Structure 1
Amino acid sequence: MNIYITYGTLDYLATYQEKYDGALLLEGDSNSALVIETDGENPFTEKHEYEVINQRGSLSGAGFVVMNHIPVSEEGRSLFEERFQNRAGLVESEPGFSGIRILRPYHQDPYIVMTLWHSHADFTNWQQSKAYEEAHKNRGTSKGLPETLFTGKSFVKEYMVAK
């Protein structure tokens, strides 16, 4: 399964959304995105192409989407992926959780951990939960991923699902 993402204005991307069944139109503060999950080819000219290496839940039904972009070194890819393949999955039991996709880039883009929520409040509640604390307890410790795996700082983009 693949995910393809293109970026642009909300109005422009809305015209594309109509062409692709199941496409997810996302509205952000600085830009908007259109996300397509498919076994087919990339319909966009942009090469933001990802393989879904871990998934739970659904893209549909979400009202809020968080994309954590994580730049991983070539040498660190296998360890990074192993950690996500063996993750505890605590987020999936949280109220308001809709889905998660761990995305491996085909090109020079960073990895993306995309979580989908019914609402922004549900995401905020997850961040303040004991489950979140448990899921992230090793971050920045010797049990966590070594900093040398990363080629830069991660960054997060948040989006509302446009109707």
Structure 2
Amino acid sequence: MFMYITYGTKEYLEEKIPAGSLLLEGNSSAAAIYESDGENPFQEHHSYEIINKRGDLQGAGFAVMNHIPVSEEGRSRFEDRFQNRAGLVDNEPGFHAIRILRPVSNDPYIVLTLWDSQASFVSWQQSKAYHDAHKDRGTSSGLPQDLFTGPSFVKEYVVERT
């Protein structure tokens, strides 16, 4: 299973995205995502293999993409961590879906989560489950920092259309 992502203005993407895509609107840009076993529907795109998934993309109102640049040498350890994740987010109120996305080319990994609303996402970030899921970050029990080629960054979007 693959996920294809393209970026642009909301107006441009509204004209170009196929049925079944999600249109995501951020503060300064928009994105369209399409999940499929088939062909990529976008002319300009970023391609990802879905290595872990839970939940349904449809019906969500808010999306968060955590972009994580991982070194070539660190890919297997990074993926193993997510393949064996505790899954605490899966039971949070307002949670819809998670996708762990392995880049097909030179892009960073993406951890995509979809929520009912931004408030649901913020509640997750403030929860004990979030603290437990991230307790090893930055410690000797967590992933070594040399696995990463740069800092991660997060983009948040309102889901405009499903």
Q: Which residue of 2 aligns with 1:58?
A: 56
Normalized against structure 2, the TM-score is what?
Answer: 0.97
Q: Which residue of 2 aligns with 1:70?
A: 68
Quick one: distance in 1 between partners of 2:93 and 2:30? 26
Matched length:
161
Report sequence identity in percent: 68
Q: Give 1:24 deviation, angstroms.
A: 0.2
Q: Which residue of 2 aligns with 1:156?
A: 154
1:47–1:107 Cα contact (<8 Å) kept: no
Q: Which residue of 2 aligns with 1:6?
A: 6
Q: Give 1:66 deviation, angstroms.
A: 0.2
The residue type paired with residue 114 of structure 2 is L
Listed as ranges, the matches of 1:1-163 within 5 Å are 1-17=1-17, 20-163=18-161
Instruction: State the superposition RMSD in angstroms.
Output: 0.7
Q: Which aligned runs of 4 or more in structure 1 are off by greater than 2 angstroms? A: none
Q: What are the Cα deviations for residues 79-106 of structure 1, in whole angstroms up to 9, with x where unaligned?
A: 0000000000000000000000000000
Quick one: distance in 2 between partners of 1:100 and 1:119? 14
Quick one: distance in 1 between partners of 2:65 and 2:155? 5
Normalized against structure 1, the TM-score is what?
Answer: 0.97
Quick one: distance in 1 between partners of 2:45 and 2:156? 21
| Structure 2 gap ranges (5+) | none
The residue type paired with residue 63 of structure 1 is G
Q: Any idea what SS the aligned residue of 1:162 has?
A: strand
Quick one: distance in 2 between partners of 1:154 and 1:45? 26
Quick one: distance in 2 between partners of 1:16 and 1:40? 18
Q: What are the Cα deviations for residues 20-49 of structure 1, in whole angstroms up to 9, with x where unaligned?
A: 221000000110000000011112222400
